[in-house]
Structure 1
Amino acid sequence: MNITIYDVAREAGVSMATVSRVVNGNPNVKPVTRKKVLEVIDRLGYRPNAVARGLASKKTTTVGVIIPDISNIFYAELARGIEDIATMYKYNIILSNSDQNAEKEIHLIHTMLGKQVDGLVFMGGQISQEHIEEFEHSSVPVVLASAIEPTGKIPSVNIDYRQAAADAVAMLTDAGHTDIAFVASPLKDTINQHVLSGYYEALEAAGIEKKDELVIEGDYTYDSGIEAWSRLQELSSPPTAVFVNNDEMAVGVIHGAQDNGVHIPDELEVISFDSSRLALMVRPQLTSVVQPLYDIGAVAMRLLTKYMNKEKVETPIVVLPHHIEKRGSTK
């Protein structure tokens, strides 16, 4: 049986307004009445409906989080940062997977707003004009986490992806490599375009000619990393180093190379871009651009709480620092 506020009011012999005041911590209730109402709530097992409370208070203390794929270790670490800060500030999370599908992303934005959320944290690879319009017309604050939109109008938390990629490739050019491949994540995604720009920038700075055949587009997965190496090894001049856009594909590249008898890092050096827990699970461990994944999620959620609570926001576009963690996949 679903216990309602009406049941509590009737059992306690008070009005529904009094029950509501008790539930919401309103001090304008006599101690004796408050005690009686709380006893009835406990005895009946009443659980206040957050949305119904929100209609009265205009707040549900609920935040919507739209994420491409919670099973992906990259997004799982981001989501953990979001949830921990949400809990710290007494917010509940509604999390939905978008599967990197633009139509589903727009649908989820509408669904979240229909659930009376107080704010949205959005993660997605490709922010279109339709997304921007939805964010700008949203009735609640929106913050992007590990997602870039070109106008700079929507608050966001990221790293400098172009510079991070340039730093990683420069590490390989400084080691004397001239045939450096790039295994990219889908290049339709804005962040990945920034990473590609950084790759080309580092090659140009080292005076190395760009070769289209050394850029292989993957799809974030382990299998696409294996496939990328399969294509690279067939080149007349295979690469001596590979920069990979994420850890999962990098593991695929390493395993594909090892299956072909290539020794890592003596014959092939590999640098990945994420430094998720996966980077520590492969042997040799991955040298990687360290994105502070937990921090990106945590800072995005804290930024959202500022907007929801009308606090002063000095920097709506947050760029967190990155660094390269040298491990066993490079010399």
Structure 2
Amino acid sequence: MEKQAVTIYDVAREAGVSMATVSRVVNGNTNVRSETKEKVESVIEQLNYRPNAVARGLASRRSTTVGIVIPDVTNVYFSELSRGIDDVARMYNYQIILANSEEKNAAEVVESLLSKQVDGILYMGNIIDDRLRDQLEKSNVPVVLSGSVDVENQNPSVNIDYISAVQEITDKLIVSGHKKISFVSGPLDQTINTEFKLKGYKNALKNTGIKFDESLIFAGEYEYQSGYQLGDEIRQSGATASVVVDDEMAAGVLNFMTDNGVKIPEDFEVVTVNNSHITLLTRPQLSSVIQPIYDIGAVSMRMLTKLMNNEELETPEILLAHGYVKRESTKN
């Protein structure tokens, strides 16, 4: 038989007080006699009562619930980002509602979160279209972009400088002597890919006099199998190296090459962007931009706590420092 959850009504009945009195005790209201407060707290402990976090927030008019819009809960990058968010949320006793958007229905997901009366939203998606932008603008709760970019800068955000990061790793491949470097990306209708990461790749080519070649641009999904399937097209393009924007995709490209007798890094070099733990699982291990993924999540959550408490932000756009780690998939 399923055990029934203890309710505020059970506590009130057992303590011989009104539900309003129990609510005042739970929410720290000082307008309760000490003996009544002690009696209610004793019953709460005896019954192991756990107040509903959303109800508490509504009753006390205090921010308690944060909605997180995540494009893909199975992607390692977003799960590491979420860990930083969750740790800071716990520090401030905020409750998290995690919503998987699968990119295509982000606006519906945000609408659903708002209907649950969340006090703030952290958005991680790679797509910010006009419909979503309009919805976020009209919402009456603060929104922070975490690892997500918006060229119109309508909402505060935390990221690294993706343009600079991708330019730097492309430069390294050029220094190694590569003239045909493929750019392997998620969908090219996503701003973060076209206006930031691809732009960094193009900047590196332009600065060294290498002509941009559209045939070296490959788009797929942020998944291992997608990278693996693109591997044959990349090899047939004549590319001798790949800049890949996602670690799972990079692992797929690398494994396709090694499965088909291509020596890494002697005959082909692969470098990725996120530096999640996947980069250490491949053989050879993947060279990567170092992103402070956990910190991006933590800082964006801290930014949101300030907005929910009506505090001013020092700056609406935070770019954290990035680095580079050379492993066995590249020569430099």
TM range (shorter): over 0.9
2:232 to 227, 230, 233: 230
Alpha-carbon deviations, 1:96-121, whole Å to 9, x = none?
111111xx311221221121211110
Calculate the TM-score normalised by the size of structure 1: 0.95
1:209 aligns with 2:215: no
The aligned residue for residue 285 of structure 2 is 285
1:141-152 counterparts in 2 under 5 A?
Answer: 141-152=142-153
Q: Say if 2:181 and 2:216, in contact at 8 Å, map to a contact too.
A: yes
Q: Say if 1:60 and 1:116, in contact at 8 Å, map to a contact too.
A: no
Q: Which segments of 5 or more consecutive residues in structure 2 lack a partner in the other structure?
A: none
Instruction: Say what the alpha-carbon RMSD is for the aligned residues.
Output: 1.4
Q: Say if 1:145 and 1:300, in contact at 8 Å, map to a contact too.
A: yes
Superposition deviation, residue 61 in structure 1: 0.8
The runs of 4+ residues in structure 1 deviating greater than 3 Å are 1-4
Percent identity between matched residues is 50
Question: In structure 1, the residue corresponding to 2:159 is in which secondary structure?
Answer: strand
The aligned residue for residue 105 of structure 1 is 106
Instruction: Tell me how far apart the structure 2 counterparts of residues 112 and 20 of structure 1 sit (CA, whole Å).
Output: 25
Q: Say if 2:54 and 2:64, in contact at 8 Å, map to a contact too.
A: no
Moved more, 252-261 or 274-283: 252-261
Question: In structure 2, the residue corresponding to 1:239 is in which secondary structure?
Answer: coil
Question: In structure 1, the residue corresponding to 2:243 is in which secondary structure?
Answer: strand
1:234-253 counterparts in 2 under 5 A?
Answer: 234-235=236-237, 238-253=238-253
The aligned residue for residue 77 of structure 1 is 80
The aligned residue for residue 223 of structure 2 is 221
Q: Say if 1:51 and 1:60, in contact at 8 Å, map to a contact too.
A: no
1:298 aligns with 2:285: no
Q: Say if 2:66 and 2:97, in contact at 8 Å, map to a contact too.
A: yes
Instruction: Tell me how far apart the structure 2 counterparts of residues 197 and 120 of structure 1 sit (CA, whole Å).
Output: 29
Superposition deviation, residue 60 in structure 1: 5.0
Question: In structure 2, the residue corresponding to 1:274 is in which secondary structure?
Answer: coil
The aligned residue for residue 165 of structure 2 is 164
The aligned residue for residue 177 of structure 1 is 178
Question: In structure 1, the residue corresponding to 2:233 is in which secondary structure?
Answer: helix
Q: Say if 1:54 and 1:116, in contact at 8 Å, map to a contact too.
A: no
Q: Say if 1:50 and 1:60, in contact at 8 Å, map to a contact too.
A: no
Alpha-carbon deviations, 1:285-323, whole Å to 9, x = none?
111111211111111100000001112211111111111
Aligned residue-pair number: 327
Superposition deviation, residue 197 in structure 1: 1.0
Which amino acid letter does the alignment assign opposite residue 175 of structure 1? S
The aligned residue for residue 31 of structure 2 is 28
Calculate the TM-score normalised by the size of structure 2: 0.94
Superposition deviation, residue 2 in structure 1: 4.6
Question: In structure 1, the residue corresponding to 2:74 is in which secondary structure?
Answer: coil
Question: In structure 2, the residue corresponding to 1:177 is in which secondary structure?
Answer: coil
